[in-house]
Amino acid sequence: MAFHGAGRQTVCGDLFPGSELGHKYFCVSSSCGAPSTGLSATPCLTGPTAPAGTPRHPTALGGSTGGGAAVPQPYSNPASEVPSPAEMEPDRPIGYGAFGVVWSVTDPRDGRKVALKKMPNVFQNLVSCKRVFRELRMLCFFKHDNVLSALDILQPPQIDCFEEIYVITELMQSDLHKVIVSPQPLTTDHIKVFLYQILRGLKYLHSAGILHRDIKPGNLLVNSNCLLKICDFGLARVEEPDPSRHMTQEVVTQYYRAPEVLMGCRHYSSAIDVWSVGCIFAELLGRRILFQAQSPIQQLDLITDLLGTPPLSALAAACEGARAHILRGPHKPPSLSVLYMLSDGATHEAVHLLCRMLVFDPAKRISGSDALSHPYLDEGRLRYHTCMCQCCYSVPSGRVYTRDFEPVAERPFSHSYENSLLSVWQGKELIHRFITEHQQGKRVPLCINPQSAAFKTFISWASRTWSRVF
Ligand SMILES: [Zn+2]
């Protein structure tokens, strides 16, 4: 049996028994009062009630690495014992996405390891300002166990010096891409519990009217207990109800891009995310990328090789070039039976669900919500809610299950403010106020100590990374 339930959250056993998959980055320290990143807790006197723009001189804020004053007592190391080598583990970068760098840091308030994301180039122009503010608001909006959300936002400096935004999220151990390319065995039980959580998170996002637009294995964070969270909302946006409104085509990493986007359709829906999940489902089964093409046209060719030439009705919204390309080629019959050869886990039930997700016509593709009702996911649901979730709990007489296994968002995500945002300065004021108001009445705010050595390393690493990315 590949799974051993040794504790409440070890439903799948240790997915990463070694330290190969980023495990070393995850260190829960109970006695860390030396914030080596330069992160420090704001002293109480300039704490949560401080007015926006209160100057925060680094030496007044602590940050023991950089030579600043010690962190005030209530937030410093509560214990005097010497930390173990693991607890002394330095903070470090853990990755970067298209729109930011992520760093593993220690929260000086409780010694907990968290992820710190720097959102770059926020105020470069109005477009980036709107994009970052949208992502920030989304991270603060989300309340779902399978969607990464903001635990905190670092206190901004006064508005004249406000250039960067730092968000703190939960730190996860790895991501699905690293798991898939690793030698770690992936059983059917793993696949079912992962797929269940992806769709559970996606149902929540779509119910809030949000399209992720970059669902890929690297954006699905996982822990060794198999808990999964969807992350990176840099490309996410609100669903466009008006089909006559044009939407950007520059979305979704090519291998996971839905055919309607590849064909240049000007309007698309949440179905593009379901397509991406279908590709990931096949990748989990076969442990290789399903459609790995060199160009968007070849990507479309690989899709039609599998699904067959689409009917004319599915090409109605395609751009002229894409439609001509498909109609010019030879008629291809579907070859879906090859999906059974992905692996032993590609059972009739698995392939049936896969074929409902990998439908060329988005109008006929299964929704994330309906996919959750497929019998293939019954075991994943049971496993998740038996010992992984936060919504059910155990009592001596047994397990008390929640009434709603796959909850929707309480309300749609609102983006009406975006239309009234007309300048970068206005955006800066709005974001500054948002962060300040977001923190009021909450925990002691954190801010960066720019004098600390670790912070300088962070910045220089981030700059090097960005120069590689862009
Ligand atoms: Zn539950």
How far is Cα of residue 94 from the mean position of the Cα atoms in its chain? 14
Contacts 24+ apart (CB under 8 A), 49-57: 49/440, 52/158, 52/159, 52/432, 52/433, 52/436, 53/157, 53/158, 53/159, 53/432, 54/158, 55/157, 55/158, 56/155, 56/157, 56/447
- 20-34+59-172+420-460 CATH choice from 3.40.50.300, 3.40.1410.10, 3.30.300.30, 3.30.200.20: 3.30.200.20
The confidence score (pLDDT) of residue 114 equals 92
The confidence score (pLDDT) of residue 317 equals 87
Residue of 107, 145, 214, 232 with catalytic role: 214
Distance of CA 170 from the midpoint of ligand 1 (Å): 20
Q: Does domain 175-400 have CATH number 1.10.3720.10?
A: no
Which whole-number Å values give the CA distances from 152 to 29, 139, 168, 439, in the listed order? 19, 10, 5, 8
Question: Tokens at residue 436, please?
Answer: 């300040």
State the binding site for ATP: 117
Distance of CA 29 from the midpoint of ligand 1 (Å): 28
> What single DSSP character describes residue 266?
S
Distance of CA 373 from the midpoint of ligand 1 (Å): 16
The confidence score (pLDDT) of residue 97 equals 54
Protein residues within 5 Å, CB atom, of ion ligand 1? 385, 389, 391-392, 402
The confidence score (pLDDT) of residue 89 equals 40
Q: What are the boundaries of each domain within the chain?
A: 20-34+59-172+420-460, 175-400
- What residues in the chain have per-residue pLDDT under 50? 1-90, 465-470
Q: Is 152 a catalytic residue?
A: no
Q: Are 123 and 129 in contact (CB under 8 A)?
A: yes
215 CB-contact burial (10 Å; exposed 0-12 / middle 13-18 / buried 19+): buried
The confidence score (pLDDT) of residue 7 equals 31
Domains 20-34+59-172+420-460 and 175-400 belong to one CATH topology: no
